[in-house]
Amino acid sequence: MAVIYDPKKGEETLAAFAVQKTVHEEYPRIRLLDRKSLDEIVREFELSRSDLVRPENRLTPDLWTVRLFLVLEAVNSDVVMRLDETRTGKILDFFHARLESGRSPFDQREKLTESLLRILRERHPLRGRISQVTKQEIILDIGEDVGVRIGQRFQALGTDLVLKVVSLRSDGTSTAQVERGDDMPEKGGKVAFFPSGGQQIRSAEDERSGLSHLHLPNCEFGTPDNKSGVRKMSEAVFRICICQTASLALPTTNPECGR
């Protein structure tokens, strides 16, 4: 994932760095990629291929491609974000956070990233395998280094069993117990992150329609018909109109939206 922001705006840069630091710490499974300094990276590759660099010190490009872009804008105390999927061009979600004035975004990282982290975990869930099963404990082959936390729940795929993480081990694994279900899971079985309450972000109807959910506090939502849906912030920070087309929900700043 790469974060897109305006580096000339100090508040926006701080917010972007706060988001990246939190994602790196709380959900390291997501690889953060730099696209703001790409020109410098390319110039360094070009320099490494020149006669100024010894052959044994030359770099071989092996860049990762960006699958998710997070577009971030800060306006006064409001930070708005949009999560885009590169492969399809689909807008996945919108987020909004109102920060306290006079405090650094770094001190408000939880408020800034709460909705984003939830969506990342549910759309790109942690997955692993059950490496050991005894009468006393269940060992998962994933741990703190990929974002596993005590209290998280994982579902044993293909079953109704839900496992709750009770401890993190120093070898990069974790220990879990059966929280839901009567049987014990099988060794080698696959597990995936289980959202709180077992609720998926989107229903099948939402996925078919292509409409994205807006996570905006204090919003009033006009139920969308087959043409459009409107959400309006109560304090009128901005209005977004989602105009549904055959394959893509396109956000606009049409002043008519929200009236």
Q: Examine residue 36 and state whether it is found in any structural domain, yes or no.
A: yes
Q: Cβ neighbours of residue 246 under 8 Å, at least 6 residues apart?
A: none
Question: What pTM value is reported for the model?
Answer: 0.59
User: Does residue 117 share a domain with residue 33?
Assistant: yes
Q: Examine residue 145 and state whether it is found in any structural domain, yes or no.
A: yes
CA distances from 54 to 48, 57, 244 (A): 8, 5, 55
- Residue showing tokens 């942690």: 126
Q: Would you state the pLDDT for residue 237?
A: 32
Q: Domain with 6 in it: what CATH number?
A: 3.30.420
Q: Would you state the pLDDT for residue 196?
A: 65
Q: Examine residue 13 and state whether it is found in any structural domain, yes or no.
A: yes
User: Does residue 98 share a domain with residue 10?
Assistant: yes
Give the three-state DSSP class for 36: coil
User: Does residue 113 share a domain with residue 9?
Assistant: yes
6-20, 48-62, 134-148, 192-206: least confidently modelled range: 192-206
Across 142-156, b (16+ Cβ under 10 Å) vs e yields: bbbebbbeeebbbbb
Which residues span the domain enclosing 165? 127-194
Instruction: With a cut of 80, say whether residue 41 has pLDDT above it.
Output: yes
Q: Domain with 151 in it: what CATH number?
A: 2.40.10.170
Instruction: With a cut of 80, say whether residue 257 has pLDDT above it.
Output: no
Residue 197 confidence class, pLDDT cut points 50, 70, 90: low
Q: Across residues 73-79, what is the average pLDDT?
A: 89
- What is the rounded average pLDDT for all residues in the chain? 76
Residues 207-256 pLDDT 10s: 333 333 333 333 333 333 333 333 333 333 333 323 222 223 333 333 33
Across 105-134, b (16+ Cβ under 10 Å) vs e yields: beebbeebbebbbbbbbbeeebebebeeee
User: Does residue 224 share a domain with residue 145?
Assistant: no
- Residue showing tokens 């929200």: 258
Give the three-state DSSP class for 64: coil
User: Does residue 168 share a domain with residue 64?
Assistant: no
For residue 34 the two structure tokens come to 């730099």
Q: What's the domain count of the chain?
A: 3
User: Does residue 72 share a domain with residue 43?
Assistant: yes
Q: Examine residue 259 and state whether it is found in any structural domain, yes or no.
A: no
User: Does residue 159 share a domain with residue 103?
Assistant: no
Q: What are phi and psi of 8, to 5 degrees?
A: -80, -15
User: Does residue 135 share a domain with residue 117?
Assistant: no
Q: Examine residue 199 and state whether it is found in any structural domain, yes or no.
A: no
Instruction: With a cut of 60, say whether residue 35 has pLDDT above it.
Output: yes
